[in-house]
Amino acid sequence: MPEQLSVGIVGASGFTGAELLRLLVNHPNMEVRAVTGDTQAGNNVADLYPSLAPAYGDLTYVRYEDAGLENLDLVFACLPHRASQEIVGGLIDHVDHVVDLSADFRLDDPLVYEKWYEVPHNVPDLIDRFSYGLPELFRDDIASKQHVAVPGCYPQTAVLPLAPLLRAGAISETGIIIDAASGVSGAGRAPKQNTTFCAVDEDFSAYGVGTHRHTPEIEQTLGTQVVFTPHLAPMNRGILATCYAKPAAPTSADELLSILSDFYADEPFVHVSERLPTTKATLGSNTAHISARYDERTDTAMIFCALDNLCKGSSGGAIQSANIVAGLDETAGLPLVGLMP
């Protein structure tokens, strides 16, 4: 394994691409060699994202076909679903590692993908070549494969707090409810009618009720059905999930926290505490914050998780898994603590 990996980012003009660029500045073993952005081709990265100017002042977006990605060690693909399929087939046998941030290789069953994304999967034979990039649950599988499908931000925020309790048999597999709220950056950089400042400011709304495409991903990873309702919050970044479940046996908040603490005791990027998590505490970090409560009156377990949707929830998580497949220190280049104030 070379000491320094040459890296390309496809779709680097979007928020996840920009976050990758921010994080990779401090990575000791990865060097960005090419960034694509067809709509920004010929423009400097620094002109679109002035915050990146000190590190990438001369870096220019190029069209995908002009990037020469097949000569690199690792490529991060930051494209929307379906668009990623169109390029991964041409990359997967020419670079050592493809780390895909779209939904195209997360679901095991291409028919489930077609049902929820309303388009056929064009390269279903490639799905098995990707691991599901959630190291806290699937580290061995990630290490055994060359390519990674990065989980969605909502699924990570739901799965991380619920999976240990399900595996321990502490909560029932039926009747799980997940209410989660995300910042507007989760909708991407492209302008949309419902994500303009005037639409979002001073507003809080549910959307994708019963139809959100992250639902089958959550269910696949947890192994059970859930009721999942996402909400749009008037903030730039961050997700907070509040999960409700029925205990499988008599329990308490201390018992729930003990299970979670034991499960994540050796995980560098999961912090379990009695303190209720907040999105602000995770800002800019690759760490998920988890807590739990038990409502004795209604016999309900309440489990909470907050993370930064652009860092741990996407680009930071992508680097974490890329470190694993490349045989590097899993924590390399990743911030542990958030920004305050």
What are the catalytic residues? 153
- Comparing CA positions, the residue from 82, 91, 89 lying closest to residue 9 is 91
Residues sharing a CB contact under 8 Å with residue 72, sequence separation 6 or more, in sequence order: 6, 7, 8, 33, 34, 95
The tokens of 299 are what? 């016999």
Q: CA-CA distance, 289 to 267, in Å (whole number)? A: 12
What ranges make up the beta strands (E) of 79-207?
97-100, 130-132, 147-149, 176-182, 205-206
Helix or strand (DSSP H, E) at 15? helix 15-24
Pairing relation of β-strands 130-132 and 147-149? parallel
Residues sharing a CB contact under 8 Å with residue 198, sequence separation 6 or more, in sequence order: none
Residues sharing a CB contact under 8 Å with residue 3, sequence separation 6 or more, in sequence order: 29
Backbone angles phi, psi at 78, to 5 degrees: -115, 55
88-127 as b/e: b if 16+ CB within 10 A: beebbeebbbbbbbbbbbbbeebeebeebbeeebebeebb
Cα first-last separation, the chain: 40
Q: CA-CA distance, 205 to 283, in Å (whole number)? A: 22
Classify 287 as helix, strand or coil.
Answer: coil
Classify 276 as helix, strand or coil.
Answer: coil
